[in-house]
């Protein structure tokens, strides 16, 4: 398995969540290839334009990522993976949390005084 690619077991777990292929003349590139390309960008932090050619045109992969985000597909995948892991007793929900210690708040959220040039918003 390549470092940034899904394993067979991982792909089998989620493949039925992806939309069916388009009609004749409108066939989509392989969903798994697109997912692997998306994972490559997410894991490396590289710009979309630096996506290796083996995943196809970067814009195709990016557009698929946007479409699936708008359709809520990533949320469905997360729910599926969490449900499967929970059923297998692989999640300790007592330890499930989000670390916000490095999240920066706007200065007004922290109670700082407004500068004279700041525009007050309603």
pLDDT tens, the chain, 122 aa long = 477 789 999 999 999 999 887 655 666 778 999 999 999 999 999 999 999 999 999 999 999 999 999 999 999 999 999 999 999 998 887 776 666 666 677 766 666 666 666 565 55
Number of domains in the chain: 1
In a domain, 108, yes or no: no
Is 113 domain-assigned?
no
Contact residues for 77 (Cβ-Cβ < 8 A; gap 6+)? 14, 17
Q: Would residue 79 count as lying in a domain?
A: yes
The domain of 53 spans 29-93
Q: Return the closest-CA partner of residue 1 out of 41, 29, 39.
A: 39
Residue 121 lies in a domain: no
Q: Specify if 102 maps to a domain.
A: no
Provide the angle, in degrees to the nearest 10, between the axes of the packed helices 58-70 and 73-87: 70
Query: Do 34 and 23 touch, CB atoms closer than 8 A?
Result: no
């Amino acid at each position: 398995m390549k470092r940034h690619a899904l394993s067979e077991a991982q792909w089998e777990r989620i493949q039925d969540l992806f939309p069916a292929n388009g009609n004749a003349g409108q066939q989509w590139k392989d969903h798994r290839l697109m997912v692997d390309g998306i994972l490559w960008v997410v894991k490396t932090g590289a710009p979309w334009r630096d996506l290796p050619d083996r995943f196809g045109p970067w814009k195709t992969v990016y557009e698929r990522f946007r479409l699936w985000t708008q359709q809520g597909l990533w949320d469905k995948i997360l729910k599926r993976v969490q449900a499967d892991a929970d059923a297998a007793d692989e999640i300790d929900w007592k330890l499930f949390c989000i670390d916000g210690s490095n999240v920066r708040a706007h200065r007004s959220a922290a109670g700082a005084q407004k500068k004279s040039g700041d525009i007050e918003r309603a």
